[in-house]
Amino acid sequence: MNVITGKVWKFGDNIDTDLIIAARYLNTSDPHELAKHVMEDADPQFVKKLNIGDIIVAGENFGCGSSREHAPIALKAAGVSAVVAKSFARIFYRNAFNMGLPIFELKECDKIDEGDLIKIDLQEGKIEDIDKKTTFTFLAIPPFMQELIAAGGLMNYAKEKMAETA
């Protein structure tokens, strides 16, 4: 997965994990059940409008609040292919990679609008807004984190490494 292309859904600053997946749904860790309620409190119609492969673009401090793995699990299970934000809360950043959800830091998020079609090229380190014909460079992802994404998360990565040594 070197290129991710999808339609943009915009959210603002300080989108916390309770907005991503409300605490009232944390009585399960079933990804398919969590996916039904992703971003529900921010936009009650979000899941109905979302198409598999769509991309969330947000402001500062995305994923702040509680340190729950449910947030990136819910986003990924709902079909969100990536999250691009100006910055991420530290625990969400790590949880996203551990769960295999690609995330990218981009200071120019304000220049991308909801509904735009964007292409994220992991190899080139670029995000292209296809509709606006503009290109941005995102903050580089460390090689190990890229391996986690390619494997689909930390657990899959560990299984692959165990299989290699067996």
pLDDT tens-digit readout, 36-92? 999 999 999 999 999 999 999 999 999 999 878 999 999 999 999 999 999 999 999
pLDDT tens-digit readout, 100-157? 999 999 999 999 999 999 999 988 899 999 999 999 999 878 888 888 888 988 888 9
Alpha helices by DSSP H, 42-142: 46-49, 70-78, 90-99
What is this structure's pTM? 0.93
Is 71 exposed, middle or buried, given 0-12, 13-18 or 19+ CB atoms closer than 10 A?
A: buried
